[in-house]
A and B are shown apart, each in its own frame.
Chain A
Amino acid sequence: MGQLSRHRSHALAVALFVVVVTALAACGGGGNDTKSGTTAGKAGPTTITWWDYFGYSDAGNQAINGMIAAYEKSHPGVTIKRTSYAYPDFFTKFNQTVATNHTPDIAAMDAGQIPSYAAQGALQDMSRYTSSWPTTKQFFPQVIQQVTVDGKTYGVPFRSNSIVLWYNKDAFKAAGIANAPTTWDELRADAKKLTNANQSGICFPATKDETGTFMFLSFLWQSGSDLGKIGDPGSVNALNYVNTLVNVDKSAPKSVLQWTWDDIAAQFTSGKCATMINGPWVYQAVDTGKKVKHWGVAKLPAGAAGSPAPLGGEAWVIGKSAKNPDAVWKLIEWLGDNQNSFKPIMAGLQSFIVRKDQQGLDGANWSSIVPVVSDQVKVARSRAGYGTKYNQISTAVQDMEQSVLTGQAPAKDAASQAAGQIKPLLPQG
């Protein structure tokens, strides 16, 4: 018996060693794998892997599939393999492929995430292509700034948007309010009037994720402050203003600490929120809503420093594992041609123009909300200036806002605590 068990433990040790060594070797070598399907040569057939998160609506899906089909038709020998994920899954999966060096060749990525991913080595520098591309000069400055890190270009923007105030016209009529509020004071007064047992005056997200940061940045900027200046009177005003809506007037339900953009849109369309701050990505949900028929959009009510909000949108990026970046660039160049992509991107993806040469083009006016949102997009600001540690900064912003809204800390203390966390994370100089 003794001999047998010694035998057994010996076997185990040897086998274990072999396993660990082969596992390490297999995974360690993953970086040098040649990606199947992507051929480097120009002569053979080329397969391009494509990722996006536009499968959430039929219109978006059709727009993307249509462009892909048109490209494949005009470029024989090129096959595009598209995968569409839900927004959060997209990033989980993308992280995995970066770690294992199997990224898609081209992806449509949230421009707000591009600096972080560029710094993580996940994206290819596209400057060598964009520097000689005539279209590069056409991008609006805040749009191209989104994808620029240390002077290098990591994406080609194609979609932009921002957030606006949506209001229920019937609720306004019932409360005796003629027009949408244009200032913080008006918004507060109107929201108070609109609030009753079954309806909240104003809904906006204050969640513990990037959505919460995106929303709070607009209050912060509107009060004349900025992340580098947190702790100043402007930032305290912004926190106090949000706190007044939620905890003093109670015209915003405390649920906004959990409600996502979609949750808020659902509350608006069911008549539970008389106004909401939300983006054009909920347009279809609101437009097809059965209960609230008469609604409108307005520019965000202005604070002391106007109505800026963060610029949202996507850009085409080339994944770090793309073996044939030239072929991917050819595709991006084609996608950058207004003739090929302008209409599907605008109407299909509920987008707004990103370049000077798109002004006045047919197809930009895809809905009645376009003029108002376009006005808002004009004053929207990029988050790229916050650098490569933006995701950590974002957590500090969410914690600051939530600690005020839950009564954990007064605005002033929360702001000065957040300032201590945020300042070392911002780019120096």
Chain B
Amino acid sequence: MASGLAVRERTRWGGERRPIAVRLRRARNAAVPYLFVAPVVLFLGALLIYPVVLNILMSFQDRELGNLISGPVKWVGTQNYSAIFHDPVFKSAVIHSVLYTAVSVAIQLVIAMVLALFYSRHFRGARLFRSLFLVSYAIPIVVSAQVFKWLLDGRGMVNSVLHTLHLQSQPHYWLSDTKYALGAVILVQLWLGIPFTMVNLLAGLSSIPSELHEAAAIDGANAWRRFWDITWPLLRPTVAAATILSLIFAFKNFDLIWIATKGGPANATTTLPTLAYQTAFEQFLFGRGAAILNLIFAACFVLALGYIWSLRREERIA
């Protein structure tokens, strides 16, 4: 609206000048809004739209390193997609990705909720412990993945603790056994994801007015009632947002699994991101890798739309 006003004001005394100057001035004024949006559009265009479009095109091509960005290309139609849909490793990667994401996020939410409720109380040291939880977040994933690789080894600390507690007589090779490997990496994902979710939920909790709880307490509502009738309804949009963000992070997680197992043993921890990396950058099947990445992108895009929807809801409620 402001720019519209400005235009009208200028034309009022612009009439005294020659018509060509008026037109130039008008043209310049018309360009101003375009200049304001240009940085955003440039940014999004170069870093988001261009690679996405390129990746979609590439998934219908047979590309190799030499002509990856420029040079003649061979169009192969939907061949890359049919190749991955006929690949049993791809099918198991889909199952692993869904399991990995769903299980880790579900457990993550429950534990993070309990912790958030606990640390939202005011007691000595609450703040300190709250920030200590974020330490796992400050460690690069490369480091934590390598540490967990040692901890979960046959002679690692996990086995020695379980042995000392008489919980097992034989050591388990957590990352070398197809029965346990996916569970083991989910455990590491939990360790990484819980602090993030907890901080999100804590922020949501702190925005709930304490008067509501006080009033309910005076009316004789017990803690359980107060949680379900006050905390939960007000926190639901935050939970939705935290869930969707965690789903996206877990679904596209690559470095953790790659460093711990490379998708092994016998593809037991191969997820869509590790498969895409291996296909594109180890086997040089760029078209096929792009096809897998597009499917990951589509899944994350749907989740992101869900996130935006839940944010809107949160705004409406707040």
On whether the beta carbons of A8 and B33 are closer than 8 Å, the reply is yes
On whether the beta carbons of B42 and A99 are closer than 8 Å, the reply is no
Q: Does A11 contact B (CB under 8 A)?
A: yes
Q: Does A57 contact B (CB under 8 A)?
A: no
Task: List residues of chain A with CB within 8 A of the CB of B49.
Answer: 16, 19-20
Task: List residues of chain A with CB within 8 A of the CB of B153.
Answer: 255, 258
On whether the beta carbons of B284 and A406 are closer than 8 Å, the reply is no
On whether the beta carbons of A16 and B41 are closer than 8 Å, the reply is yes
Task: List residues of chain B with CB within 8 A of the CB of A117.
Answer: 65
Q: Does B114 contact A (CB under 8 A)?
A: no
Task: List residues of chain B with CB within 8 A of the CB of A209.
Answer: 262, 282
On whether the beta carbons of B33 and A20 are closer than 8 Å, the reply is no
CA distance A100 to B283 in the complex (A): 19
On whether the beta carbons of A208 and B37 are closer than 8 Å, the reply is no
Q: Does B225 contact A (CB under 8 A)?
A: no
CA distance A245 to B282 in the complex (A): 29
**A207 interface neighbour in B65, B70, B173, B264, Cβ under 8 Å:** B264
Q: Does B261 contact A (CB under 8 A)?
A: yes
Q: Does A349 contact B (CB under 8 A)?
A: no
Q: Does B220 contact A (CB under 8 A)?
A: no
Q: How far is the CB of B52 from chain A (nearest CB, A)?
A: 11
Known: A7-B33, A15-B38, A395-B283. A23 touches B266 (CB 8 A): no
Task: List residues of chain B with CB within 8 A of the CB of A256.
Answer: 176
Interface residue ranges of A209-227 to B (CB < 8 Å): 209
Interface residue ranges of A343-373 to B (CB < 8 Å): none
Q: Does B154 contact A (CB under 8 A)?
A: yes
Q: How many residues of A contact B (CB 8 A)?
A: 53
Task: List residues of chain A with CB within 8 A of the CB of B46.
Answer: 19, 23
On whether the beta carbons of A120 and B66 are closer than 8 Å, the reply is yes
Known: A23-B46, A253-B155, A406-B178. A122 touches B41 (CB 8 A): no
Q: How far is the CB of A424 from chain B (nearest CB, A)?
A: 13
On whether the beta carbons of A23 and B45 are closer than 8 Å, the reply is yes
**B282 interface neighbour in A19, A30, A395, Cβ under 8 Å:** A395
Q: Does A98 contact B (CB under 8 A)?
A: yes
**A15 interface neighbour in B41, B155, B265, B285, Cβ under 8 Å:** B41
Interface residue ranges of B21-77 to A (CB < 8 Å): 33-34, 37-38, 41-42, 44-46, 49-50, 53, 64-71
Q: How many residues of B contact A (CB 8 A)?
A: 48
On whether the beta carbons of A99 and B68 are closer than 8 Å, the reply is yes
Known: A98-B68, A255-B153. A19 touches B41 (CB 8 A): yes
On whether the beta carbons of A121 and B66 are closer than 8 Å, the reply is yes
Q: Does A1 contact B (CB under 8 A)?
A: yes
In this complex, the member of A8, A12, A100 whose beta carbon has the largest number of chain B beta carbons within 10 angstroms is A12
**A11 interface neighbour in B33, B53, B64, B175, Cβ under 8 Å:** B33
CA distance A28 to B54 in the complex (A): 11
Q: Does B149 contact A (CB under 8 A)?
A: yes
Known: A19-B42, A258-B176, A406-B177. A95 touches B65 (CB 8 A): yes
Q: Does A381 contact B (CB under 8 A)?
A: no
Nearest CB in chain A to that of B69: its residue: A99
Q: Does A169 contact B (CB under 8 A)?
A: no
Known: A255-B173, A405-B265, A408-B266. A15 touches B34 (CB 8 A): yes
Interface residue ranges of B249-265 to A (CB < 8 Å): 260-265
On whether the beta carbons of B45 and A31 are closer than 8 Å, the reply is no
Interface residue ranges of A382-429 to B (CB < 8 Å): 391-392, 395, 398-399, 402-403, 405-408
Q: Does B268 contact A (CB under 8 A)?
A: yes
On whether the beta carbons of B66 and A98 are closer than 8 Å, the reply is yes
Q: Does A272 contact B (CB under 8 A)?
A: yes
Known: A28-B70, A320-B66. A208 touches B263 (CB 8 A): yes
Q: Does A24 contact B (CB under 8 A)?
A: yes
CA distance A11 to B31 in the complex (A): 9
Task: List residues of chain A with CB within 8 A of the CB of B268.
Answer: 406
Q: Does B278 contact A (CB under 8 A)?
A: yes
Q: Does A49 contact B (CB under 8 A)?
A: no
On whether the beta carbons of A254 and B41 are closer than 8 Å, the reply is no
Q: Does B271 contact A (CB under 8 A)?
A: no
Q: Does A74 contact B (CB under 8 A)?
A: no
On whether the beta carbons of B262 and A207 are closer than 8 Å, the reply is yes
Q: How far is the CB of B277 from chain A (nearest CB, A)?
A: 10
Q: Does B1 contact A (CB under 8 A)?
A: yes
On whether the beta carbons of B65 and A14 are closer than 8 Å, the reply is no
CA distance A95 to B64 in the complex (A): 10
Task: List residues of chain B with CB within 8 A of the CB of A27.
Answer: 50, 69-70
Q: Does A3 contact B (CB under 8 A)?
A: yes
Task: List residues of chain A with CB within 8 A of the CB of B264.
Answer: 207-208, 257-258, 398, 402
On whether the beta carbons of B154 and A12 are closer than 8 Å, the reply is no
Q: How far is the CB of A253 from chain B (nearest CB, A)?
A: 5
On whether the beta carbons of B154 and A406 are closer than 8 Å, the reply is no
On whether the beta carbons of B173 and A253 are closer than 8 Å, the reply is yes
On whether the beta carbons of B155 and A208 are closer than 8 Å, the reply is no
Type the 1/0 row for B274-318, where 1 means its CB is closer than 8 Å to any CB of A.
000010011111000000000000000000000000000000000
Can you list 10 A-B contacts with CB-CB less than 8 angstroms, sorted by A residue number?
Answer: A8-B37, A12-B41, A16-B45, A95-B65, A119-B64, A209-B282, A253-B155, A254-B173, A392-B283, A406-B178
Q: Which 8 residue pairs across A and B have the least CB separation, nearest first?
A: A121-B66, A19-B45, A208-B264, A99-B68, A254-B173, A120-B65, A15-B41, A31-B70
Known: A30-B69, A253-B173. 17 other contacts (CB 8 A): A12-B41, A19-B41, A19-B46, A19-B49, A20-B53, A23-B45, A95-B281, A121-B64, A121-B67, A208-B267, A255-B155, A255-B173, A256-B176, A257-B264, A257-B265, A405-B266, A408-B178
